[in-house]
Structure 1
Amino acid sequence: MNGTRKLGLAPVARADARLLLLGSLPGEASLKAERYYAHPQNQFWRLLGEVIGEPLAALDHDARLETLLDRRIALWDVVHAARREGSLDQRMAKIEVRDLAGFVAGLPGLRAIGFNGATAAKLGRKKLGATHLALVNLPSSSPAHTTAFGDKLSRWRALAPFLD
């Protein structure tokens, strides 16, 4: 047995989204809270807040999601379900990848997809195949990815040109 079967969260998106951010599969803290990037050490909200000039990390979860929607940013995960013990991507087995092309087809104004971490990029790029969209690989916001915040942020700033 490779851990229990974990199911991802519902997408956060409006049809007018310009940027889609895709993680791999939420970690244990996020799944338990049923909230994206709920682990207090995950840097997602801080990184994205810096990119869009909003204090996302200081907001409650609902306000964070509302801000993303207002800024035409969609949020989801590449993996629909997987067996995993703990939160690390390396521990995932029996991975079921989402129909990303079908989802993207419902976002006609989409300009780019940002992949939060190497696993999201590898699985997501393979599932999407050829696309006209800009695809941006980002260093993982996970606390397990120990790159310095400033180094992560410099790479995350590549998302800025795709925002209004």
Structure 2
Amino acid sequence: MVNDLSGSDGFAPIVSEQAKVLILGTMPGAASLLKQQYYGHPRNAFWPIMAALFGAHVELDYQQRKEVLIDNGIAVWDVLQYCRRPGSLDANIDMASIRVNDFVGLFTRYPLITQVFFNGATAEKMYKRHVQAMLDNYFPNIEYRRLPSTSPAYASLRLAQKMEAWRVIKESMLK
């Protein structure tokens, strides 16, 4: 469904039993919803960063890129399962319309996930406001860290700067 006033549903997670890291966005934008792919906007830096870190090259088809992430213990999801938002900007999300994803279910089913990396400040803010308080008693060992948004709307950092910041994911998996 396209991001319009009627609202949009998010995607199922990219995840496997071996996932150790969860990358959380806010909600797929219009281009992603049309393509039915996480980070589907051609100028989003997510896939170029995943290519540099894990070999999920943009030349691979979407299914192959997902498999590269899975093979590297990376899960991808969004904080929101549903929202109304005209356009793709997180700032335009109708807060009265949001429904969050089932994180209790996710972390119960995939207990090796111990690190969550937020793709931008809005994902972190939504998670902390609507999710984290109900999880802390059940999953106290999960570590959280915000990374710069890969969105083309977040233009204050160049791709190389975003890539450098995102290296922390790969480094954290080597511990």
Counting matched residue pairs gives 162
Instruction: Pick the aligned partner of 1:155 from 132, 143, 165.
Output: 165
Report the alpha carbon displacement of residue 51 of structure 1 after superposing the two structures with TM: 2.4
Residues 19-66 of structure 1, C-alpha deviation per residue, up to 9 Å, x if partnerless? Answer: 1111110010110111111111011011122223x1522211011001
| Equivalent AA in structure 1 for residue 28 of structure 2 | P
CA distance in 1 between counterparts of 2:57 and 2:167 reads 15
| Equivalent AA in structure 2 for residue 43 of structure 1 | A
CA distance in 1 between counterparts of 2:104 and 2:161 reads 31
> Corresponding residue for 1:84?
85
Superposed, which structure 2 residues align to 1:48-59 within 5 Å?
Answer: 48-52=50-54, 54-59=55-60
Question: Quick check: 136-145 or 120-129, which moved more?
Answer: 120-129
Superposed, which structure 2 residues align to 1:11-90 within 5 Å?
Answer: 11-52=13-54, 54-90=55-91
Question: Quick check: 111-120 or 127-136, which moved more?
Answer: 127-136
Report the alpha carbon displacement of residue 106 of structure 1 after superposing the two structures with TM: 1.3
CA distance in 1 between counterparts of 2:120 and 2:44 reads 12
> Corresponding residue for 1:128?
132
Question: Quick check: 97-106 or 71-80, which moved more?
Answer: 97-106
Question: Which structure 2 segments of 5+ residues have no match?
Answer: none
Report the alpha carbon displacement of residue 109 of structure 1 after superposing the two structures with TM: 1.1
Give secondary structure in 2 for the equivalent of 1:56: coil
Percent identical pairs in the alignment equals 35
Instruction: Pick the aligned partner of 2:7 from 5, 8, 18.
Output: 5
TM-score (norm 2): 0.86
CA distance in 2 between counterparts of 1:21 and 1:65 reads 13
Residues 54-106 of structure 1, C-alpha deviation per residue, up to 9 Å, x if partnerless? Answer: 15222110110011111111111110000111101001012111122321121
Is contact 1:111-1:162 (8 Å) kept? Answer: no
Question: Quick check: 136-145 or 147-156, which moved more?
Answer: 147-156
Question: Which structure 1 segments of 5+ residues have no match?
Answer: none
Give secondary structure in 2 for the equivalent of 1:136: strand
Displaced runs of 4+ in structure 1, greater than 4 A? none
| Equivalent AA in structure 2 for residue 36 of structure 1 | Y
Superposed, which structure 2 residues align to 1:136-147 within 5 Å?
Answer: 136-146=145-155, 147=157
Residues 104-153 of structure 1, C-alpha deviation per residue, up to 9 Å, x if partnerless? Answer: 12111112111111111111233123331121101111100002112211
> Corresponding residue for 1:109?
112
| Equivalent AA in structure 1 for residue 42 of structure 2 | P
Q: Which has the higher contact order (CA 8 A, sep 6+)?
A: 1
Higher strand share: 1
